[in-house]
Amino acid sequence: MKETIRQLAEEKNAIILAHNYQPPEIQQAAHMCGDSLELSIRAAETTADVIVFCGVHFMAESAAILSPEKKVLLPVADAGCPMADMVTPEALVKRKKELGNIPVITYVNSTAAVKAVSDVCCTSANVTRVVESVKEDEVLMTPDRNLARYAALFTDKTVHLWEGFCPYHDTLTAEDVLSARKEHPNAVFMAHPECPPDVIQMADAVKSTSGMLRYAGEVDSDEFIVGTETGLIYPLSKAYPEKRFFPASEKMFCTDMKKISLENLRDTLENLSGEVRVPEEVRKDAYKAVKRMVDLT
């Protein structure tokens, strides 16, 4: 199946991207794996005519924002992100006005329409730098309340938060971490900033998914408790076969990230189906917010 998929990709001049949380067989079939933003940036640099994004809807939109001349396909139309859907452009514009038009910093885990009404985007890896880059003393961060609370730890600015959250990261509790630590007393605990504040406080390191992939290689430890979606265990174990990785909780399983199968990846390539389009007027404004962030990093 992997051979068929790669052959179809070659015929259609397509590049297959897979987010770090995708099932192992999808990561194996992909040309590139990584976090959502780095994948979109790297795909924009290629000469492919088609991008197949194995991930969720906002990720395919990000690729379309950065590569308007390419066809961007999402193998399963309803692979979405509940957190991205917790804010609408209308509600965000209203809240920004209520707060006196302060700058809006939007996590890349958001729809293109929300990015388009934002001043600048951020990722879990660059959030502190983005907050400091804004000259105003007050900012509104959306959609993730936990990422906003994490960013607030590193700034004197007033950070207003939006009450959005990732249903999988937000579910991790201090008790889960304590029990994982008890089972693996020598393990280093890495947490994603989408986790709740009490969990963040217990972490040895707070990292994005790509940050965790680097950090596990840098730290002199053979065991890690992984405080993010359990799909990351696969690329971690592949990168460091001599080390051991344990999920902080089996509850951290994003069902949307697991909707894509080899069969629907093959069908998508065969039929060039599942195109994700961002209207040009939305794309132009969303691009500005993404570009402002990329220029900072």
Nearer residue to ligand 13P within complex by CB, 104 or 191: 191
Q: According to the binding rule CB under 6 A, does residue 124 interact with ligand 13P?
A: yes
Coil/strand/helix, residue 47: coil
Beta bridge partners of 190: 205, 226
Which of 27, 62, 126, 208 contacts ligand 13P by CB under 6 A? Answer: 208
Name which of 199, 197, 233, 196 is nearest 216 in CA terms.
Answer: 233
Q: Which does 36 bind (CB under 5 to 8 A by kind): ligand SF4, ligand 13P, none?
A: ligand 13P
What is the distance of C-alpha 53 from the center of its chain? Answer: 13
Which of 8, 9, 15, 35 contacts ligand 13P by CB under 6 A? Answer: 35
Strand 138-142 and strand 104-107: the pairing is parallel
Coil/strand/helix, residue 188: strand
Kindly state the greatest CA–CA separation across the chain: 56
Q: According to the binding rule CB under 6 A, does residue 56 interact with ligand SF4?
A: yes
139 vs 158: CA distance, rounded Å = 6
Buried residues in 87-108 as b, exposed as e (16+ CB within 10 A): bebeebeebbeeeeebbbbbbb
Strand 71-73 and strand 32-34: the pairing is unpaired
Query: What track of x and - describes contact with ligand SF4 for positions 88 through 117 (by CB under 6 A)?
Result: ---------------------x--------
Least separation in angstroms between residue 55's CB and ligand 13P is 7
Which of 20, 67, 106, 142 contacts ligand 13P by CB under 6 A? Answer: 20
Q: According to the binding rule CB under 6 A, does residue 256 interact with ligand SF4?
A: yes
The DSSP code for 170 is T
Q: Which does 15 bind (CB under 5 to 8 A by kind): ligand 13P, ligand SF4, none?
A: none
Contacts (CB under 6 A) with ligand 13P, residues 159-178: 166
Nearer residue to ligand 13P within complex by CB, 67 or 208: 208
Coil/strand/helix, residue 253: coil
Least separation in angstroms between residue 270's CB and ligand SF4 is 26
Binding site for ligand 13P (CB under 6 A): 20, 35-36, 109, 123-124, 166, 194, 208-209
Binding site for ligand SF4 (CB under 6 A): 56, 81-83, 109, 166-169, 229, 254, 256-257
